[in-house]
Structure 1
């Protein structure tokens, strides 16, 4: 089995409000647009906003977004009127995280990976 690409698809209750949030507030770049939807670049994958949903966001789902500087990102979001659900803090697993929600309540986890975290270290044996 081979997977060539990935995309998270959201069906927001208010598509225009969600498009404005992801495009204007988070500043995601548009990958492509099509009738009824927009696909944004999302780091190593894509985020599609299309159609219209009717339900609440599941508390079991979250979007994980890695940022270079969590404090600067949190300050920029605050300047854009975003209220964080949880302020930046160091987690027991070594990552710095802050939480916010999109207009439908989907939790977004902003993550800064410190320089000394195992995610950044090469675990291969030296040659």
Structure 2
């Protein structure tokens, strides 16, 4: 059963946005080697990702990622699941935005647009193990033994 595992917001300033969401009570669980470029916050079952506008536009292939821009994501348990999941989306009517590719940070990612143009990411991230129902387990999650 697929589950939405991550929502990425395009932000002007990652550090400022991280501080804002932490002030609202979300716990930052960003790997230290990624802290400048992106933030991952515990959203209570869904991870909230904060990504610079220009970087998200480049990553997705969209012309821009203006305020209000965002992507939704399906995280998958194995790298080979990314192209398989993309094929399922295309069969259901999606349009491929970016074919599966290995990323500089070590994961595998693809993007598609739903029939209304909303961008979705399908991704495998080694540092984000998944529960059986597809939820991300943040590496320093205090609820995980």
- Higher RCO, Cα 8 Å, sep 6+: 2
- Using the size of structure 2 for normalisation, the TM-score is 0.39
Q: TM-score, normalised by structure 1?
A: 0.43
